[in-house]
A = this chain, B = another copy of it.
Amino acid sequence: MIFDPQTLSYDDKGLIPVIAQDHETGQVLMMAWMNADAVTKTLQTGRVTYWSRSRQSFWIKGETSGHVQKLVDFRLDCDRDCLLVMVDQTGPACHTNRKSCFYTAVRDGAETELMAPLTD
């Protein structure tokens, strides 16, 4: 079946959550949002492109930082209201310079840092 980005379920702001996962290690890197046009751009360019809610503009991941996400596989869930992109991540995915945004765990009721920022 031909894929049409308009057949996804977007929220009341026209957005769909997107999970980015490292295609080699399986590490979950980040979660961000796309609108239908960002979905189209991501599939057309092979460069993961989100919609920035704070800037209200396209966010070609890594365009300024160089920490690009090359699309390896594009997946949608059963309800068509969440996406999973398998990516080849250059450098850290997180703006704190950590590989993943999920570097804090809650263990025994306390926040624990799991990863330090990468050093160049």
B-binding residues in A (CB < 8 A):
1-3, 17, 19, 21, 25-28, 30-31, 43, 73-79, 82, 84, 94-96, 98, 101-107, 109-111, 114
Q: Is the CB of B77 within 8 A of A2?
A: no
Q: Is the CB of B17 within 8 A of A105?
A: no
A109 to B104, CA, bound (A): 37
Q: Is the CB of B3 within 8 A of A31?
A: no
Q: Is the CB of A104 within 8 A of B76?
A: yes
State how many copies of this chain the complex holds. Answer: 2
Q: What would 10 A/B residue contacts be, using CB atoms closer than 8 Å?
A: A19-B31, A21-B28, A73-B107, A74-B105, A74-B107, A75-B102, A75-B105, A75-B106, A76-B104, A76-B106
